[in-house]
Structures are given as C-alpha cells and as structure tokens.
Amino acid sequence: MKRLIVIASNSCLTFSAVIAIAVGLYWEPAVQLGRKRHWSAELLMIQAKACPVRKQPLVYWMGDSTLWSLKQKMYPQLISRETEPFLDHCIVQTPGLDYFNYFTMMGPALKFKPDLVVTIANLRMFAPHRDDAVFRDLMPALSASELPRAALLPLYARDLTVPRLLLDRVISMDGVKRVFIFLDGLRAMFQESERWTLLGPRTPSLSVEQQRRRTFRTLMAAYDEELTEGHPVVQMMGATVDMARRSGVKSLVIVVPIPYELLAKDGFYDPLVSWRRIDALRRTVTRNGGCLIDLHATLSPEEFSDIAGHYNRQGAVHLARVVKPVLVDMLLTGNQRCPAL
C-alpha cells in the first residue's frame, strides 16, 4: 500500500513539474494560439454586445459569410440603412454558421428583446457531422431552462454529449476558461509543430489544379445534402425557431440564393429535388411557429461573386429589394400571415 502511495505521489509531482515548466515556457504563446482557435465565438459575442440600444422595432440577424463582405455592403446592411427611420437592426455573423450555432446564439439574442429574429438557411451549410468549435464554445451560453430540451436534440452530430455539455458550462467560467484555452493552445502547438515534418509531409502535395478540383468536389457535395425533417441540422432549425416562439418573438428563416444555374450545368442541381428538400424545411419552420421564404433560385449567375454562394454588389441590391418588404410586412403592417415567397 505504501508503495502505491509513493508511486502515486511521484506521478503527481512529476505531472505538476511538467505543467509548471510548460506554463513558465509556453503560457503566452499557448494562450494566444488558443484564442485564435476560438476567435469566432468571441467575435460573435463582441458583435452582439455592439447591438444598438433599442429605440424602435428591432430585427436581429444571425447568419454566415453571405451576410458580410469586405468589398461592399451586403443586403442586411443595405436594408438597415434604408429602414433606419423606423427599424433597428443587429447583425451577428461569422463564416460557417448553421442552425447548431443559431440555437446556441438564440438565448443571447432574446436578451435584446427583438421583434423579429432572422436566420439564414444556406443550402451549402447543412452537413450534420463536422468539427464545430464555435458550437461547443457557445453552448455554455444556453440558458439553464433550455438544457432539458437540448438534451433531446441531436447534439451527438457535433460530438457533444450531455455530460460534456455540463462540463463546458464549468469550463466557461472566467478562471477555468483561461486555463482551458492555455491547454488547448499547448496541445495545438504540439500537434502543429513543424518538427513533425521531419518524419515526412503531413499530406501529399497537390498541384494548383488538383487543389481546385478537390475544392470544387467538396462544394458540390455540400450543396447535395439530402434534407428531411429528421435531419440533425433541420431538427436544430426547428428548435431554434421554437425558442423564439416561446419567447413571443417572430422568426423568419431565409433560404438564401445559391448559384443553381451553374450547379445545374454540372449535374448538381435538380429543381424537383430542391423543392422537396426546401418543403421539409418549410414544414419544420411552420410547425414550430416561424415563417420561411425561399430565395434559393432568386439570383442569376451574374449576381454571384463565386460558386460558394457569395453575392456581388448587384446580387446584394437585388436581395435587399426582395427582403425589405418582407420585414416591413411582418413588423409594421400587423399581418399575422407568413410572406408568400
């Protein structure tokens, strides 16, 4: 027994010494790298805190990279400018978001008491299983009252279990979170060290043309996700809309445009298949008390800036003309029906 105690004590001392050395040598670089790996969640929280003080009906937008561009104002910004005299807007976005992320972001959004929450349904962003650090980082923001409902949702699709969910709430505490960021950054420093290349290249080198083809195939596969009411991301869409409904807030889902004509040329778009998939989304949204407008075939090829579905200036202006009347109708006319789009 004494021998076991000695072995355990020596192990603890050795481990403590290793941690102390790691903290002394790598604390700052590891924390900086850890923060870079979790920057998206921090950016979303910064955007949310910058929302305007509500003075008139508030539209709260949540979306992906299709809501923002360095080159020009996108349609939410254009609508915000045009409706400034009678509507307030808060736009929260970062690349790669889907309804797993919107679900976790809905709680903080509702604290602003919006009149309408707008979420973006990008048909390219319905992959159920993917590494989603933003989702795990934001999950602790979910209110305790939502945990029983969350436990029944397909969190497993993003490698999140109920015990991990509870543990993440502890990790999110300020002091604990800083230690977690350090350990995550330290692990990344070890995994991403260039010294590993001494054993050989990480991945086979590809030519520019091979890289282009791989990217193209990945994009095409993303657009071709089969959607049903039982699909994990569709279930999270329903839960997101339902959370808004239970708080007395209107919810609008926008199925945003995709370059369907370009996809059709390569055999990756079938209008009947797309209609069936979007009908599943509409049924889910309607059943949970929200509205959906389908704009997936609204823009021409000339109004896209790339095949990933981002819009140029012409496309952004076109979408602003389509979406603005919908917002006005839902908020200012007293119309209780969903828009017919």
CB 234 within 8 A of CB 280: yes
> Tens digits of per-residue pLDDT, 176-211?
666 666 666 667 667 666 665 666 666 666 666 677
Q: What one-letter code names the amino acid at 152?
A: L
Q: For residue range 299-314, list pLDDT tens digits in order.
A: 999 999 988 889 999 9
Query: Mind listing the pLDDT tens digit for each residue in 74-95?
Result: 999 999 999 999 999 999 988 8
Using 50, 70 and 90 to split pLDDT, how confident is the model at 158? confident
Q: Enter the tokens of residue 234.
A: 């569709």
In a domain, 152, yes or no: yes
pLDDT band with cut points at 50, 70 and 90 for residue 54 = confident
Beta strand pairing call for 250-255 and 116-121: parallel
Order across the sheet with 250-255: list the strands. 88-93, 58-63, 116-121, 250-255, 291-294
Average pLDDT over residues 91-106: 90
DSSP 114: -
Q: What is the pLDDT of residue 132?
A: 72
- Of 257, 274, 249, 271, nearest in space to 322 by CA: 257
pLDDT at 63 over 90: yes
126 is a domain residue = yes
CA terminus-to-terminus distance, the chain: 74
Residue 214, in any domain of the structure? no
pLDDT at 2: 67
Q: What is the CATH number of the domain that holds 163?
A: 3.40.50.1110
Say if 60 falls within a structural domain: yes
Supply the range of the domain harboring residue 154: 38-172+225-332
What would you measure as the largest C-alpha separation in the chain, in angstroms? 79
Number of independent structural domains in the chain: 1
The total number of residues shown for the chain amounts to 341
- The number of helix segments (H) and strand segments (E) in the chain equals 13, 5
Question: Would you call 292 helix, strand, or coil by DSSP?
Answer: strand
Alpha-carbon distance values, 245 to 134, 221, 232 (Å): 24, 33, 20
| Residue 314 · residue 303 · CB < 8 Å | yes
Q: Is residue 14 part of a domain?
A: no
Report if residue 1 sits inside a domain: no
pLDDT of residue 317: 96
Q: What stretch of H or E contains 117? A: strand 116-121
Asked, for residue 50, whether it belongs to a domain, the answer is yes
Whole-prediction pTM: 0.84
Q: Which pLDDT band holds residue 131 (cuts at 50, 70, 90)? A: confident
| 337 in any annotated domain | no
Mean pLDDT of 119-145: 83
Instruction: For residue 12, give the 3-state DSSP assignment.
Output: helix
* Average pLDDT over all residues of the chain: 83
